[in-house]
Copies of this chain bind each other. A is one copy, B any other.
Amino acid sequence: MNRHCGGILWLTGLSGAGKSTLARELERVLRARGWQAFVLDGDALRTGLNADLGFSPQDRAENIRRSGEVAGLFAQAGIIAICAFISPYRADRDRVRAAHAAAFHEIHVSAPLEVCEARDPKGLYRRARSGEIAQFTGISAPYEPPLAPELEIPSGRWPLERCVVQLARYTERRFALAVAA
């Protein structure tokens, strides 16, 4: 019915790398083409589905497990789930991949820590450096970059527009279905 198949675009990267902005822009572009796309955002899910979870490694694992299951349901429904999650642990991301192998596309939204910290759009790095926020990825908790992501978007070097075009092009190539006229 849709002219594309469902799937999971899993955007991982540091806080401030631009995952959410890129996700929203991609959603807008895909919808303008008549595609079914929906952003699942880590921050937003922590106010609902994952409101009971914190930032310990165990809670982060459960946060990513649940979010991956939801993304899998959207993919089953024929929708492109655009997932914006720091998801710092490789093992957590790999479990999502294993559970939804055919649908899963790992996109590394990569910007150096110095760039993210200099941007600091929400003032979180400042608060993490001062010790006000604990277990903050990149400062007081690890980030394990993907070893072999399906795509890397160097958001620290490219302007937003180029990032969006690149990701939209990737999405179209991987998810478009031929439709009889």
- A49 touching B66, Cβ below 8 Å: yes
A40 to B72, CA, bound (A): 12
The interface centre, meaning the residue of A36, A38, A48, A72 with most chain B CB atoms within 10 A of its CB, is: A48
Q: Mark A44-73, 1 if CB is under 8 A from B, else 0.
A: 000011000000000000000010011011
Across-interface contacts of A174 in B (CB, < 8 A): none
Docked-complex contact B79 and A1, CB < 8 angstroms = no
A48 touches B72 (CB 8 A): yes
Q: Which residues of B contact A38 (CB under 8 A)?
A: 73, 76-77
Selected contact of A70 from candidates B36, B70, B79, CB within 8 Å: B70
Give 18 A-B pairs besides A38-B76, A49-B70, A70-B70 with Cβ atoms closer than 8 angstroms. Answer: A1-B31, A36-B36, A36-B77, A36-B78, A38-B73, A40-B73, A48-B69, A48-B72, A48-B99, A49-B66, A49-B69, A49-B73, A66-B66, A70-B73, A74-B74, A74-B77, A77-B79, A79-B79
Q: How far is the CB of A33 from chain B (nearest CB, A)?
A: 10
CB neighbours of A99 from chain B (8 A): 48
* Chain A residues bordering chain B, tally (CB within 8 A): 19
**0 or 1 for each of A98-132: is its CB under 8 Å from B? (1 = yes):** 01000000000000000000000000000000000
Encode contact with B along A1-14: 1 for CB under 8 Å, 0 otherwise: 10000000000000
Residues of B within 8 A of A78 (CB): 36
Residues of B within 8 A of A77 (CB): 36, 38, 74, 79
For residue A1, which residues in chain B have a CB less than 8 angstroms away from its CB? 31, 34
The answer for the CA separation of A34 and B1 in the assembled complex, in Å, is 7
Bound form: Cα–Cα A180–B1 in Å? 21
**Chain B residues positioned under 8 Å from A34 (CB to CB):** 1
